[in-house]
């Protein structure tokens, strides 16, 4: 018989923890999503509601749009700053990246407050825009406002990923390809994109998954006025609109949407590899 190695013993605390606080609540969600909220009988009604009612499909459509745009802004901004960071001297770069890791530890409500002070109705930037540039005031409590606010998380997050991705891009590889007679487009298709793609896709996966489920800052800024999918779950799971079975079904849908998006991104990334996903 093989000796029972002591490593397994060290996994007991985390196994108990995960079982109780991850596996058990998730099973409850799945189980509850198939039961009637009041009687507790088996039903598919919660899912039927999701597929037939505009108050669930509408917010899901909003969320897909919103998360897509936020991810695009984060990807463009983060790639740009990441590229700049990769060209800086190591010392300057580490200062910049230290600052860019700050937003991630911030409370979503502190960020909401910060943007109220900056861009709210009597926000500092709005006064400056209005008085010195004659521009109309920026409406923080709009979809655009939410995108600007969430970019404060997404651009730095993407920057950290892209900076290391660009640093890993080996310039001698590009030069070698050039010397062997590769054209510019060939260098891009066969060298640069395949090298950058895994990191880039990993970065936008993190941003997209976060945005699909985001609701804290939106709740603080616009309440329920901008119906996001996660806000619908929140309102069903909290006191206001208590229907935990419906909330559970929506949570299952959200997990499926997130996993689906991550799988799709992963598939695209594999297609970008030379030889296209074979």
Partner 1 sequence: MRRDTVVALIQRVMLVLLILYVVIPLLVPLLFSFSTLWMDIVPKGFTVRWYQRIFARPIYYQGLITSLIVAFSAVAVDVFICVPAAYAINRLRGPVGGFVQAAFKIFPLIFPPIVIGTGFVQAFNRPPFAWSGSLMLAVFAHATLGFPFMFRNVLAAFQTIDERTLSEAAASLGANLWQRFRYILIPNVIPGILAGSLLVFAISMGEFEVTTLIAGFGWKTMPLLLYRSLIDDIRTASAISGILLTTSILAFLGMSFISGRVGGGKLRMAGARE
160 φψ region: left (φ > 0), alpha (ψ -120 to 50), beta (else): alpha
CB of 19 to partner 1, least distance (A): 11
Residue 234's φ and ψ, nearest 5 degrees, are -55, -45
Task: Output the six-digit token pair for 124.
Answer: 């500092």
CB of 34 to partner 1, least distance (A): 13
Nearest to 256 by CA among 224, 204, 213, 197: 213
CB of 24 to partner 1, least distance (A): 5
Measured CA to CA, the distance from residue 62 to residue 68 in angstroms comes to 10
Which CB atom, from 6 or from 41, has the smaller least distance to partner 1?
Answer: 6
CB of 209 to partner 1, least distance (A): 4
Which CB atom, from 64 or from 88, has the smaller least distance to partner 1?
Answer: 88
CA dihedral 187, 192, 194, 199 (to 10 degrees): 180
Which CB atom, from 8 or from 185, has the smaller least distance to partner 1?
Answer: 8
Which CB atom, from 154 or from 191, has the smaller least distance to partner 1?
Answer: 154
CB of 192 to partner 1, least distance (A): 22
Which CB atom, from 143 or from 188, has the smaller least distance to partner 1?
Answer: 143
Q: How far apart are the first and last CA of the chain?
A: 42
């Amino acid at each position: 018989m093989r000796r029972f190695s002591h490593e397994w013993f060290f996994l007991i605390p985390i196994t108990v923890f995960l079982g109780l606080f991850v596996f058990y609540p998730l099973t409850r969600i799945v189980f509850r999503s198939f039961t009637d909220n009041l009687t507790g009988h088996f039903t598919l009604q919660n899912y039927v509601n999701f597929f037939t009612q505009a108050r669930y499909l509408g917010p899901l459509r909003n969320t897909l749009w919103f998360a897509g745009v936020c991810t695009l802004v984060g990807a463009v901004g983060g790639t740009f700053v990441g590229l700049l960071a990769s060209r800086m001297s190591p010392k300057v770069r580490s200062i910049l990246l230290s600052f860019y890791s700050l937003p991630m530890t911030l409370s979503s409500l502190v960020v909401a407050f910060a943007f109220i002070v900056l861009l709210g109705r009597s926000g500092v930037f709005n006064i400056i825009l209005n008085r010195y540039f004659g521009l109309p005031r920026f409406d923080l409590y709009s979809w655009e406002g939410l995108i600007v606010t969430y970019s404060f998380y997404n651009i730095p997050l993407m920057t950290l990923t892209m900076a290391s991705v660009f640093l890993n891009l080996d310039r001698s590889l590009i030069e070698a390809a050039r010397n062997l007679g590769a054209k510019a487009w060939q260098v891009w298709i066969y060298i640069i994109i395949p090298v950058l793609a895994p990191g880039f896709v990993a970065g936008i996966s993190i941003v997209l998954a976060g945005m699909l489920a985001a609701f804290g800052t939106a709740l603080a800024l616009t309440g329920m006025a901008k119906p996001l999918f996660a806000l619908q779950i929140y309102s069903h799971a909290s006191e206001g609109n208590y229907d935990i079975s419906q909330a559970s079904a929506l949570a299952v849908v959200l997990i499926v949407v997130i996993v689906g998006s991550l799988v799709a991104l992963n598939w695209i990334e594999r297609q970008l590899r030379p030889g296209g996903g074979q």
